[in-house]
Amino acid sequence: MKFYSLNHKAPNISFQKAVVNGIAPDRGLYFPEIITPLPANFYQNIEDYSNQEIAHELIKQFVGDEIPETDLKKIIEETLSFDFPLIEIEKDVFSLELFHGPTMAFKDVGARFMARCLSYFNKNKTNELTVLVATSGDTGGAVASGFLGVKGVQVVILYPSGKVSTVQEKQLTTLGKNIKALEVTGTFDDCQDMVKTAFLDKEITDKMQLTSANSINVARWLPQMFYFAFAYKQLKNKEKNIIFSIPSGNYGNICAGMMTKQLGLPIAHFVAATNANRVVPNYMETGNYEPMKSIQTISNAMDVGDPSNFIRIQKIYKNSFKVLKKDLSSYSFTDYETREAMLKIHNESNYIADPHGAVGYLGLKKYLNNRSNIQGIFLETAHPVKFLDIVEPVINKTIEFPPQIMQVIDKKKVALSIDNYEQLKEFLLK
């Protein structure tokens, strides 16, 4: 399997090089040359397979022979060491809980898979690799946990000051060892721009090997395909059309879902649900894609004004707005609507949703309105404990700290404050 840059000005490369490079020299995202659907009987008999077996079938064509089957299966087994339950919230409305991993966010799967792939690729090398990543919330903690103690890998995480929750900040600033946190004056988009600029700065890349652990990296992005197949496996009624509503910020998760559909999973439609950062809802309404300055909301992981992965979505649909529109709807919701949804879900279903899951629920309900013979799944991407200051006042209930959070909540934050790219460059070169 070869991967090519979506900017089409860089050589095609192997899975290993795509993972290690993170982003192409022409600043394009890597995309697989070929996507081969799986046999229909795989999905017809999906309940007969373990999650690990399903994941292996979905990912193996993209890894190719670069990781031997035995080693790839071990990587998958170590990655998927927790559950992904599908919970019925109301008739034909389900929550897929993706927060049962070590940092209680959906990004645990991609971060753990990527860390183990890099560890495999780097096992016989003496040079050190630096993982440079920007986070709007959960990515930082997941990457920090996934890469903690990985031999030959240093991790540098950039996060926007004052724009991540207390729990999220603790998860990415308290681990120490090979994990370094940089607190950036600005937004997530500023952090992401700094990361992209560093990858193209020869003064840095001539002295150190950089890779990214954002969803721009194929080893972070592709494993998110697993969630959609895991949900399908658990559905009792597979005759009704299936809709997925995904809380969307950088659009890696929904893009992975669309890849799963390309592999043959019978998904009828996708909903990209988001907050006030409505670049994609605007695009789906007008056909004009115009990035915007990100807006701070209570669903901070979606505070993205220029989603990196949307170019991959356009590629999947052959850059045809008309074709994409058949498969994708996108809606934007206010913080007020998000809080109202959290309260409604709690009062009517005795279920606690985090702000991102609540936005996913709202998107699903909007799409389901006046449509029949449909069942919908929204992705609950983080445990509500990560947003206590938002969730508890809404539902008027105290949420207990799970063991994963207890491990970090009382630790001391260690982070270096920076204001601009030159300070990041100085830090990396030192």
Instruction: Report DSSP letters for 271-288, one per residue.
Output: EEEESS--HHHHHHHHS-
| pLDDT of the residue at 263 | 98
Q: What is the pLDDT of residue 415?
A: 96
The CB-side HSE value for 348 (13 A sphere, CA atoms) comes to 11
9 has catalytic annotation: no
Output the pLDDT for position 152: 85
The one catalytic residue in 107, 163, 180, 261 is: 107
User: The tokens of 339 are what?
Assistant: 């809080």
Residue 265 CA to residue 383 CA, distance in Å, equals 27
Give Cα separations from 426 to 5, 74, 420 (angstroms). Answer: 29, 38, 10
Encode pLDDT of 112-156 as tens digits: 999 999 989 988 777 789 999 998 777 888 999 999 988 889 999
Domains of the chain (ranges plus CATH)?
84-104+221-400 (3.40.50.1100)
Distance CA 314, CA 332 (A): 20
- pLDDT on residue 211: 86
Residue 374 has pLDDT above 80, yes or no: yes
Per the DSSP assignment, residues forming a β-bridge with 159 are 183
Given a contact cutoff of 8 angstroms between Cβ atoms, the answer to whether 219 and 16 are in contact is no
Residue 127: predicted pLDDT? 78
